Structure 1
Amino acid sequence: MDPTLWIKNPKHFGDNFQPGEGQVHVLVVVPEGVVGSASETSKMDFVDDKVSKLYEHSVLSKRTRYVHSEMSSSKGNKLVKELKIRVTPVDAVPFTGGSPTPVEEFEWIKGRTEEQQSGRYRDYVEANIGDVLRNNKLCVFGVEKGANILSVEVPGCDVDLAGRTDMIVLSAIVQKFPHYLPHLPGVKMLIEVKREVNSASEFQALSELIAMDFIVDESVMALLTNLTNHWEFLWVSNKNNNRPIIATTTLTTPGEAFEVIRTLLAQSSTADTDIMLPCLAEPVKRRKLNQMLPFIGEASGDGIRESIERYYDIASCLGPDVDTARAVARQVTRSIPTLSYFS
């Protein structure tokens, strides 16, 4: 120990200092706010970190992520089951007013990938619906690789959807200002193009439709096509036995398909508005998933409930702790959308 710190030192009480009672009381003055602050802050940081990890374990780690382009039949069936959605095929009927004007099938170039021909097939689609695009100030916009504009957390469910689609029909303003694309202004439909269509392709288009339906306010439709003999339309329909229905119908000629697309684009996108399509006998009911899924507003409490239950488990072993309870309360508050801004 440094001798200059000894009490028996000429600088302090002198060499002959002898305390009368054998004890020395030392009063130390420290700057205001130092006493207890560091330890208290450290303790709260520790508790908050522990509760954050508890929250991540009980809530965030349970989320399932589906990437549209990686969708398979097994993943698709799992997604439909998790969301309690039923897919219902609807048979097409002969067109009212006779057969539509024939349209040539798209000619795929051998040896080139779908992506390498994306510009060609976008021009093909645009050329066959150009009149309705101009009349309604719409455009066919090709979505570039890496622009994951169809990524969303499904509300009230531990499911994340991620990725993009090939083409989107939406407001022509995105041609002038491409940075508006993520907002999907005036969106009408998405188009997923597959040179070879299979069951996995259908689930990919299905997941893209679900994602877009949650992202935008408008009622939208999805089209899965090989641009030759498979033109499958999907849309959110009505509800049956407390389960939302996604309806689907398939056409086999581009002339019929483009007639349906032109009719669709000329209609209002307002939710809950029924429309008539020339390939169907009954009006098409278009709804929004967030109005029909039973677990929205209910399942979101599961992770909160687990966090609180874990706190009670800890308290039963170690006794109640105010700091831990406060930290749990902060996590619960962050989990409530309307209160997360204030936490």
Structure 2
Amino acid sequence: MLIALLPGDGIGPEVVAEATRVLKAVVGDRLTFETAAVGGAAYKVHGHPLPPATLDLARKADAILFGAVGDPDCDKLERHLRPEQAILGLRKELTLFANLRPARLFPELADASALRPEVAEQIDMVIVRELNGDVYFGEKGMRKTASGRREGYDIMSYNEDEVARIARVGFETARVRKGKLCSVDKANVLETSQLWRDVVIEISSEYPDIELSHMYVDNAAMQLVRNPGQFDVIVTGNLFGDILSDQASMCAGSIGMLPSASLDSAQKGLYEPIHGSAPDIAGQGKANPLATILSAGMMLRYSLGLVAEADRIEAAVAKALAGGARSPDLGGRMTTTQMGDTVLAAL
């Protein structure tokens, strides 16, 4: 099985290296790896954040392990050449429409959460985020008003097939968990969200065993802090999902702890930590690799069908944390490599 390694920018190469070490220890010769440039690193060499060779590798691979993109040196480039366009391009070209972001608190990290321990310990959810629509892919641009003032615009839109497709992923995810699905929208203000809610309700008839609820996004943000234990699976659009999943990461202790999977309809996926490239600490050995290691575990589980091996990785991370492994974001002093070493030892 071929794994495409796309380390990207900033701390991406550091955390992907540790996850690759863990994968080799757990799966051995059953996986082969090929590496390609992406993001700012690719632009500086090839003149584009998603070169044809990188996209070709991503297409032929059985799964993709992705680091992070983002480089301050590229901030003034035209938008289509900025590093972030690489991840958007991969999602679009590979039809990776469903993003799964599990958020749960490891008991040993209760003191690292921004919430009181008795509230934080309730966190155990999956946020299912739609990836191919919304304002991220809608028509956008800059124009002049009648009075000659500059005006930016980004169009938010979803069609009913896009909503139905991600709704079914949400319902199926809830079916293998606690059977509760909360659909998050802003239907009291946005027509796009009204369609979203209508279609989710229609699809719910296919899943009579799932308890469906609805929540406006501003209330959902508040409830994540107030009472996170009420959530099992959240399904929401691209913009709202981006924001809520980052919020959930801090509730669970650190953005350096949350993995994610971006899947197509056949379960082929791109796996990445939800944190960014963190250029301020790149190359200093301060990055927490656990989210990337857990993303590698999700890759084994969802795309490669290696469930026992995925269980081993997750158990090893839990054991490493129980043994006191802490990177700076968790209040410790371990380097990126030392964190990887503790997981390997726990295996």
Normalising by the residue count of structure 1, what TM-score does the alignment of the two structures yield?
0.29
Q: Considering only CA atoms, is the larger Rg found in Structure 1 or Structure 2?
A: 1
Q: Which has the bigger relative contact order, CA under 8 A and spacing at least 6? A: 2
> Counting helix residues as a fraction of each chain, which structure ranks higher?
2
Normalising by the residue count of structure 2, what TM-score does the alignment of the two structures yield?
0.28
